[in-house]
Structure 1
C-alpha cells in the first residue's frame, strides 16, 4: 500500500469506538458488584447469655432426653414453654413454632435446626399427653421434641437453665377446673454447644429475627464464638 494511504480500522476497533460508553458502564457495574461481594461483612452472632445446664427429661415417646443427647445432635435448638391445658398464651406459642418449623422445612434446614417444647405442668403433661398434643397442633416430630419430667427437673431446666420464671397454678374464676400458670412465652435460641443465644417474641417481627439469628448461629463452628 502506498505511503500515507489511510487504512480502515479492524471491525473490532470500530465496535469499541462505537460502543465505548456502553462497554465502560457495563465493566464499571461488574466491578462494583464484585467488590461488594468481597466487602460485605456478616453481622456477628448473637452473644452468649447463658448455658443450658445438665438435665434429664423424658420426651413424648417416653424416651429419656439429656443435655448430652442435645449436644450429640449437633444442631441449633429453638425452645418454647407451654402446658397442654393452657387457656391463654400457649396456643399462640405453639402456633408460632409450627409456622417456624414450616419455614425451616421450606428452607431444607431440618437437619440443622431442632425444636423443643417443654411443659411447665409436668404433673398433667405426661409423655402420652404431650404426644397427643403434638398431633393436635400438627407438629412434625421428626425434628421437634416435647419434653416433660418431674417437677424438680422441669424447674431446674426452665428456671435455673433459662433463667425464666414459672408461676404456681392459679384457678381461673368462673371456670371450674381450669387453671393458668404464668410463664414466659418467648422462644429461646440455643447453639450447637448448649449456649443460650437469645429470647425472641412470637409476633411477626420476633419470629423473623429468630429465623435469621438461627441461620447465623447455625454457621458457628467454634465454641465461644
Structure 2
C-alpha cells in the first residue's frame, strides 16, 4: 500500500469514527443543534414532571407534577427571568399571543400558560406579579412561578434541557423554547419561541381529537 493510500485510509477511518460518535448525540443524524435534539428527544420520549416545589405570583405553593390540576389542563410553558431584555421578550410575546387566542377559542378551559423563572433570588412572588401585570397576564389563564428552594433549580433546568449561564453583567445567557405539558403531567413537545402559531395549531388539533 502506497503512502497516499495509507493516508486516505487513515482519514476514512477517522471520519468513520467521528460519524459513529456523532450518531447517538444527534439522534441518528436528525439533530445538529441542541434545540433540535431537545425537540426530537421529547417527541420520542415524553418526560414525567417531577415533584419540584414551586410558588407562584399569588403565593400559592404547588408541586410541578400537579400543574395540570384536577381538570387535567394542558400547559404551555417557557423558562425566563424577569430582568431579561432579549429572548425572554420573544417568549413573553408568544405567550401573550397564545393567551389572546386561547381566550377567544374553545381552548379557554383546556389550556393554561406558565412562565417559570430560573432566577428565584430576584424573582420573588411579588416581582413575578409585577412582571405578569406588565405583560397583561390574566392570572386564571397565565401563571408565573419559580422554585421555593435552590436545590430544586437544577432539576428544573435539567427537565427542560435549559442552558443558563451568567453573562458577566448580572444577567444570564440562556436558550428558550415553548413547551407543551399534557394533562397527565408529561413534558411532551418543544417549539421554537418564534412559532406560537404552530403551538396553537397543535392545541386545536389535539382538542378536536378529544
Please tell me whether residue 190 in structure 1 is matched to residue 155 in structure 2: no
The corresponding residue for 2:85 is: 87
1:109 is displaced (CA, Å) by 1.8
Q: Is the 8 A contact 1:86 1:180 kept in 2?
A: yes
Q: Relative to structure 1, is the Cα distance of residues 211 and 108 closer, same or farther in structure 2, using a 3 angstrom cutoff? A: same
Alignment of 1:1-225 (within 5 A): 48-66=45-63, 67-149=65-147, 150-159=149-158, 161-167=159-165, 169-172=166-169, 179-203=170-194, 206-218=195-207
1:140 is displaced (CA, Å) by 1.0
Question: In the TM superposition, what whole-angstrom CA distance separates every residue of 1:90-110 from its partner, at most 9, and x where no partner exists?
Answer: 112111101111011111422
1:214 is displaced (CA, Å) by 1.9
Q: Relative to structure 1, is the Cα distance of residues 155 and 217 closer, same or farther in structure 2, using a 3 angstrom cutoff? A: farther
Q: Higher Cα Rg: structure 1 or 2? A: 1
Question: In the TM superposition, what whole-angstrom CA distance separates every residue of 1:121-173 from its partner, at most 9, and x where no partner exists?
Answer: 111000000000000111111111101122222321231x2232222x2223x
CA distance in 2, matches of 1:95, 1:218: 23
The corresponding residue for 1:16 is: none
**Runs in 1 of length 4+ with deviation above 3 angstroms?**
216-221
CA distance in 2, matches of 1:155, 1:73: 29
